[in-house]
Structure formats: structure tokens, C-alpha cells
Amino acid sequence: MARIIAIANQKGGVGKTTSAINLASSLAVLEYKTLLVDADPQANSTTGLGFDLRNIQQSLYDCMVNDVQPRDVILESDTPNLKVLPSHIDLVGAELELINHPNRERVMKQVIDAVKDEYDFVIVDCSPSLGLITVNALVASHSVIIPVQCEFFALEGLGKLLNTIKIVQSRLNTDLEIEGILMTMYDGRLRLSNQVVDEVKQHFEESVFNTIIHRNTKLGEAPSFGKSVIMYDAMSTGAINYLNLAKEILQKHNFTKINQEDKILAINDDQSE
Ligand code: ADP
Ligand code: MG
């Protein structure tokens, strides 16, 4: 059975999609069968992996609103072991269309549960909102990764997100865990980056991943080539960071395929760009 992990933060531009694409691709490269669910109507995870929205006939929206089977919607990616349940701008409408659904918070869970046995991991990329679709993602998941950008006001809005997670935990999904807080766009040359990491670690202690995602131009370039960073430039800091994140998660949950040479690679601050 798959471990289902949502990537959520209602702030835009903190690295949710970059983390979803590259964590999913890293797990796939490490030979874990992975499904990336694009739960953002902007469909950046879908296009970032090279899919042309004009060729996509059906999406997560059709699974959630029109009872289409996810198996008929899921696409093969260019990366072995990685499949994608694509998004579409229609998903915006799902929030309204599900309003009167008797189980409106559990619709995505039903979609994912129908295919979860075919995967080791399901990664859900959320939209920058705490609306019904994001709540659906949190209800469908075992855990949530919260990307936090190393910048001023990094903690702003986190209280609201943690509160939403608490409400979901108490009413809808008692098993939901925080997989970890992921520091993104870290620049070791900036005192600010280090201050933000220290501050977040003080607040959240061991909930913060050891792996920190550095600012790296390859991470920004890769989606315009329709590729994950590991397929675009496997030696880049971004590729190494996300592989390490995948390995940290695998080690935490005692996944056994990981072997000695796959151990987490050290990375120096001065490699950040
Ligand atoms: P979100 O999904 O939270 O809105 P994105 O993952 O789309 O955020 O990231 C916002 C922008 O920042 C994108 O242009 C992305 O390419 C860029 N970006 C994200 N992470 C990094 C990073 N570690 N280094 C450099 N650019 C990054
Ligand atoms: Mg996004």
C-alpha cells in the first residue's frame, strides 16, 4: 500500500510544485512506484513534467466530479516508475460542484484509494489555498510536507495552515501526520537564510527535515524543458537535494530497497546559487 503525502502551504511560490515534481521523480528514480497527483487547477506539476494541457482529455476533476476511473486518466511520464494524475483549470469548478456532495471532503480519498495499491508513494501537489480541494488532499493523505521559503515572513500564515491541519486531524483524518517542514530556496551566503532556518528549527524542532533545498537555477529551468531536475541535470545541487529528501523519507519509514551507496549525500553551502 502506498504512503500518500500531500505537499501543502496556502502561500504561493514557496516551492510546493517544485518539491512535488522533484520528490516524486527522485522516489521513482530510486525505483519506488510513484504517482504524482496534481491537485492545483494551475496544473504546474502536469506541465512541468512535459504534458501539453491541450492534449489532456480528462483530469483529476473528472475523477472527482464525473466519477471517471483514475486508471483511465493517469498518464505515463518519461521517467520510469513515475505516473501522473493530471490537473486542469476545470478543477476550480470542483470546489463549487462538490458543495452539496454528502462526502465532499472525502472525494479525492476515494479517487486515490482506488489506485493506491499499485504504488509505493502518492505525492499530492496542492494549490495555494486552504479550500475544499486542499482539505480533500489532507483527508486523502497519511502525511503532509510543508515547504517554507527561507525569506522574510517565512512563518507568516503557517499558524493558519497548522490550524487547518488540526481541524482535519480532529474531524476528518485522525491519522494525518506532519511528514516534515521543508526549508526551500536556501542561500547559504545570506545571513537571512540562516536566520530563517534557525527560527523555524526553534519553533518546530525535529519536525524540520534535515535536508534543506538550496536555491538552484536548474530547479527553475527544468520545468520549461518539461523535465524534473534529476532528468534535466542529475549532478545539480537541486537534483542532489531532492534525492536526499527522498532518501530521508525512505529511511524514516524503513523502506528497505535503499542501499549503502544510496545514503544521503553531503552537500556544501557554497554549492547553492
Ligand atoms: P508553489 O508551487 O508553492 O507556488 P513553485 O514550486 O512553483 O511554488 O516555485 C515558485 C517559483 O520558484 C518557480 O518559478 C520555481 O521554479 C522557483 N523555485 C522553487 N524552488 C526553487 C529553488 N530551490 N531554487 C530556485 N528556484 C526555485
Ligand atoms: Mg504550485
pLDDT (0 to 100) of residue 266: 54
pLDDT in tens, 196-233: 999 999 999 889 999 999 999 999 999 999 999 999 99
* Span 90-100, average pLDDT: 91
**pLDDT for res 153:** 86
Q: 179-183, 203-207, 214-218, 253-257: which has the minimum mean pLDDT?
A: 253-257
Contacts of residue 257, defined as CB under 8 A and 6 or more positions apart, other chains included, come to 30, 31, 32, 250
Q: Which residues line ligand 1 (CB under 6 A)?
A: 12-18, 44, 128, 184-185, 213, 215-216, 219-220
For residue 187, pLDDT beyond 90: yes
- Counting from 1 in the atom list of ligand 1, the atom nearest the Cα of 217 is 25
Which of the ligands is closest to the CA of residue 223?
1
pLDDT at 113: 98
Residue located via cell numbers 516524486? 24
First-to-last alpha carbon distance for the chain, in angstroms, is: 38
Torsions phi, psi for 220 (to 5 deg): -75, -30
Burial (CB count within 10 angstroms: exposed 0-12, middle 13-18, buried 19+), residue 83: buried
Mean pLDDT of 57-75: 96
Residue by residue, DSSP assigns 102-126 as TTTTSHHHHHHHTTGGG-SEEEEEE
- pTM of this structure: 0.94
Please, are residues 13 and 101 in contact by the beta-carbon 8 Å criterion? no
Nearest Cα residue to 186 out of 245, 130, 228: 245
Better pLDDT: 153 or 132: 132
CA 92 – ligand 2 centroid, Å:
14
Ligand 1 atom having least distance to the Cα of 18: 6
Question: Which residue is closest in CA terms to ligand 1's atom 20?
Answer: 15
Q: At what angle do helices 16-29 and 237-252 cross, to 10 degrees?
A: 70
Could you report the per-residue pLDDT of 237-252, keeping only the tens digit for each?
Answer: 999 999 999 999 999 9
Label residue 128 exposed, middle or buried (CB < 10 Å: 0-12, 13-18, 19+): middle
Rg (CA), the chain: 17
Residue whose CA is at the smallest distance from ligand 1 atom 19 = 15
